[in-house]
Amino acid sequence: MVHILDSTLESVDSAEALALQAARVAGLDEDDLQKVAMAVRESMVNAVVHGNRYNAHKKVRMSISPGPVQFTVRIADEGEGFDFENIPDPLAPENLLRSSGRGIFLIRAFMDEFQVRRLNPKGTEVTLTKYLVSK
């Protein structure tokens, strides 16, 4: 299932609802449903706000791949890219009271796998994976 979404906050809500619905059909339990929903939400916010910067000419592509073993969501923006490797640790004492910078941390905490890929010529794609059965 592929969805092409506008770079708006409304799309964030839509993507979350679409992923939640697909994850429910795929058989994820309630706890994992909430984790997937939040990871998709945070990834969409990154794509819309930091990637495409609300640019009306840029789209976000979300693909949902429910499988018997794992549930995967890919979210790709058309932005300039983002250095995921050098994000300040939000748990470090000096960062604890920062008002932002927890999105990626939460995605990593909630998903079984989180991968980032730079797209050519531009854009970033994140892959979120939740296992339906124990690894």
Strands (E), the chain: 2-6, 59-66, 70-76, 113-118, 124-131
Residue among 49 and 132 whose Cβ is closer to another protein? 49
Stretch that binds another protein, among 18-26, 59-67, 89-97, 120-128 (CB under 8 A): 89-97
Can residue 102 be called a binding residue for another protein (CB under 8 A)? yes
Residues 13-72 that bind another protein (CB under 8 A): 34, 38, 41-42, 45, 49
DSSP tally for the chain: helices H, then strands E: 3, 5
Q: Which of 103, 124, 127, 129 binds another protein (CB under 8 A)?
A: 103
Q: Among candidates 48, 49, 16, which has minimal Cα distance to 33?
A: 16
Can residue 105 be called a binding residue for another protein (CB under 8 A)? yes
Q: Among candidates 90, 84, 2, which has minimal Cα distance to 43?
A: 84
Residue among 51 and 103 whose Cβ is closer to another protein? 103
| Measured distance CA(95)–CA(45) in Å, rounded | 21
- Contact residues: another protein, CB under 8 A: 9, 12, 34, 38, 41-42, 45, 49, 90-91, 96-100, 102-103, 105-106, 109
